[in-house]
């Protein structure tokens, strides 16, 4: 599911804002609202992307969320050919907007 940034800025209660580390220097963002995750898009329905985490934080500075995290899902197990796991290989760390922009 997706949600436009302009609509998301009007929400009062956002459970979690997630910055996804997709590749070496590529970030996307999603928000959890009422238990459902929504990827954030611009007004043209293109998913927000940035090669700079601080720049993405700047775009989302008007979002008020209870929690913000940086999430990285590793494909390492798949790359080395280990057996499939029942859980995801995901690292999630708390993230604070230090307003470095």
pLDDT by residue for the chain (101 residues), tens digit each? 999 999 999 988 899 999 999 888 899 999 999 999 999 999 999 999 999 999 999 999 999 999 999 999 876 555 556 666 555 678 899 998 888 87
* pLDDT at residue number 63: 93
Q: What is the DSSP letter of 98?
A: -
Predicted TM-score (pTM) of the model is 0.84
Distance in angstroms between the alpha carbons of the first and the last residue of the chain:
29
Question: Residue 40 burial (CB < 10 Å; 0-12/13-18/19+)?
Answer: buried
């Amino acid at each position: 599911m997706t949600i436009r940034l302009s609509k998301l800025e009007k929400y009062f209660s956002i459970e979690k804002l997630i910055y996804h580390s997709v590749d070496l220097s590529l970030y996307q963002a999603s928000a959890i609202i009422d238990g459902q995750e929504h990827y954030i898009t611009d007004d043209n329905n293109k998913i927000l992307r940035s090669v700079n985490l601080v720049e993405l934080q700047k775009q989302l500075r008007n979002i008020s969320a209870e929690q913000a995290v940086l999430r990285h899902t590793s494909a390492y197990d798949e790359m080395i050919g280990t057996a499939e796991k029942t859980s995801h290989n995901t690292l999630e760390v708390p993230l604070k907007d230090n307003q470095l922009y």
